[in-house]
Amino acid sequence: MARIAYNSHDAAAFEATRHLSDQALAGWREAVTRHLNPQPGTRLLDLGAGTGAWAQTFTDWYDGIDVVAVEPAEAMRARCLHPQVLAGDAANVPLAAGSVDAAWLSTVIHHVPDLTAAARELRRVLRPGGQVLIRSAFAGRHHAITLFRFFPEAIRVLNTYPSVHDVEAAFAAAGFATISLEQVPQTTAPSLRDVAASMRREAHTPLQLITNNEYAAGLARLHLAAQTESGPVIDALDLLVLR
């Protein structure tokens, strides 16, 4: 069971607010390309694909690759931008053994209830030498994420997420080794004013899991800062690569 049982309201909020601009994606394209080096015929699993933004982005970036999106929430699949989306989850990927070259998991690892089972399942579906690329905010690593500046109460939620060590240990049990851990910067929004205007609590798991009063206080802090601070909002999430 995921931390959030996404319904149509949550999926709509996610679709409306969690897509990144081409400028924001530039750093991620560089990092993914460096590790994955996709070629025509590469088959990529987007696990926990949500509304399919990343699956569609990879299809746009790399000519000739085959991206398969797998998403457990029916509400997310109903809004998926990517035509090839299947029902499934990290412990039950509906693909044949040895059928994908790499797996991408973006801001989903905290929804996985059994990391060891997920690692075993990814080992099953990956071809020999296949990589797992995990884009995430991990426990204890919030300092480069603007959201937690204004909603510090959400740090306690983040700290219930898996740590980098937790993920590495679970995947090591399935025969994976860590290839890389890096922070990838992204321009999340043109300004704090844009962040404040588009904020949807339903689109952010840590905000859904704090109290209403804590959320209201954080929103007030954000709107106050947005009145005086200018310039782009630059965040950095981690990219953990295992093989």
* pLDDT, tens digit, 9 for 90 and up, residues 94-136: 999 999 999 999 999 999 999 999 999 999 999 999 999 999 9
Q: Give pLDDT, residue 124.
A: 98
Residue 227 belongs to a domain: no
**What is the rounded distance in angstroms from the CA atom of residue 5 to the CA atom of residue 20?**
23
Q: What are the tokens at 160?
A: 């219930």
Of the candidates 241, 5, 17, the residue with the CA atom closest to the CA atom of residue 129: 241
Residue 150 belongs to a domain: no
Q: Give pLDDT, residue 23.
A: 77
Q: Give pLDDT, residue 9.
A: 66
Residue 198 belongs to a domain: no
CATH code assigned at 89: 3.40.50.150
Domain that holds residue 50: 8-139+162-188+236-242
Q: Give pLDDT, residue 72.
A: 96
Residue 224 belongs to a domain: no
- Taking 70 as the pLDDT cut, the residues of the chain under it are 1-7, 9-19
Residue 221 belongs to a domain: no
What amino acid occupies position 109? I
- Contact in structure between 81 and 52 (CB atoms under 8 Å): yes
Q: Give pLDDT, residue 15.
A: 59
Q: Give pLDDT, residue 1.
A: 44
Query: In the chain, how many domains are there?
Result: 1
Residue 207 belongs to a domain: no
Q: Give pLDDT, residue 96.
A: 98
- Contact in structure between 145 and 207 (CB atoms under 8 Å): no
Residue 20 belongs to a domain: yes
Backbone angles phi and psi of 74, in degrees to 5: -60, -40
Residue 70 belongs to a domain: yes
Q: Give pLDDT, residue 26.
A: 92
